[in-house]
Amino acid sequence: MERKGLIQRLPTEQVKQGAALLGLLALTVLAIAGPTGLLVWSEKATALEQREAQIAVLVKQRDDLKNRVMLLDPNNADPDMVGEELRRNLNVVHPDEVVLVLPESEN
């Protein structure tokens, strides 16, 4: 009788251990190759660096635009900036002035 009970219990223990082993294997595979696994981690780090570089460029552009807005404020406009904008937009030049055209990247 004892032997029969032992034989019936063994398969259930083996099934439980097998299921636990499969669960651990699944977690290991997900930790390595899953959507947030080690293989994807370096790709995400590279993408993060690219995004940070883009953000730095955009922040510089925003700061430049803020400065232009401040210089063109109607209540306290910078005369040099106003003159520059008038000449650029209305193509107005004094007879004794020389116009130098700079590429947009240097402006």
- CA–CA separation, 5 vs 96, rounded Å? 111
The pLDDT value given to residue 92: 77
Is 50 exceeded by the pLDDT of residue 7? yes
Predicted confidence at residue 32, as pLDDT, reads 87
Question: Is there a contact between 14 and 22 (Cβ–Cβ < 8 Å)?
Answer: no
| Whole-prediction pTM | 0.51
**d(C-alpha 12, C-alpha 18), whole Å:** 10
Query: Please, are residues 58 and 51 in contact by the beta-carbon 8 Å criterion?
Result: no
pLDDT tens track for 75-96: 888 888 888 888 778 877 777 8
pLDDT digits (tens, 9 = 90+) for 10-69: 678 888 999 999 999 999 998 888 888 888 888 889 999 999 999 999 999 999 999 888
What secondary structure letter does DSSP report for 107?
Answer: -
Q: For residue 85, what pLDDT is reported?
A: 81
